[in-house]
Structure 1
Amino acid sequence: MVRYFTLVNGTGGKYDEPFFCFNSLAEVTSVAERFHDYHGVPKYSDLLHTWPEHKQFYVFADYMIHLFAYAIRLDAGASSTHPVYVLCGGEYRPIAESFTEFLALYKRDSAVLYMGDEEPDE
């Protein structure tokens, strides 16, 4: 992820062709900070009540103007894993074990990115 921010650093607030927007490093914020007063549709503020681990996750991208958001676990502990979750309103689901694995899903436009199931041949 450090290499990504060094080389690319987001999409400049613009959505790409598949309609993903990646945040710059300065725009990456905690789930709590990003969604504490978000009461639109989907209602992401519900995450703060339904997801006990939300304080360790940081939003780095979204799809179709927040239809889905993507967050990675970044904490001060010595954890060697940094899982990525897809978020939609009060729902959340792990989709990748790392940012690199997330990018592989993005590259092949995996259904997992949209809370779908992985295709058998993927």
Structure 2
Amino acid sequence: MVKFFKLQCAHEELKCVSVEVCCLQTSIHDEEAHIVKITDELLVSNHPLASELKRQHWLWHVINELHLHCLDQITCHPQYVGSRGVGVQLKTLISDEVGIEEGHNNQADMDRAKQVGLQPAGNLLLHY
């Protein structure tokens, strides 16, 4: 009987994970698009500040790509029931023409992800 309830909780958790994964992917996408937009605007008005912003943002970008890679691994799991890809955040003012395309990862970022040694998600139900 206890195993049945643990299994029910696991199914509920999978639903929550599905929502959270999509929200996190959308948030990362929107943040990246916002930084690109601000940097492009600063290139016209304050080139040194734009250069510094690009330099500072590079590390965040690499980490975001690693997180997106992990999230992609979760979405490829057979027990994943949510939507794949980036969603649309409510009250978003950033247009889709910013230049960040879904699913296109920089080769250097992917090489870094391989160096870190990302592991596949495994069976999510084993943890319950």
| TM-score normalised according to structure 2 size | 0.24
**Which structure has the higher relative contact order (CA within 8 Å, separation 6+)?**
2
Instruction: Please identify which structure carries the higher helix content.
Output: 2
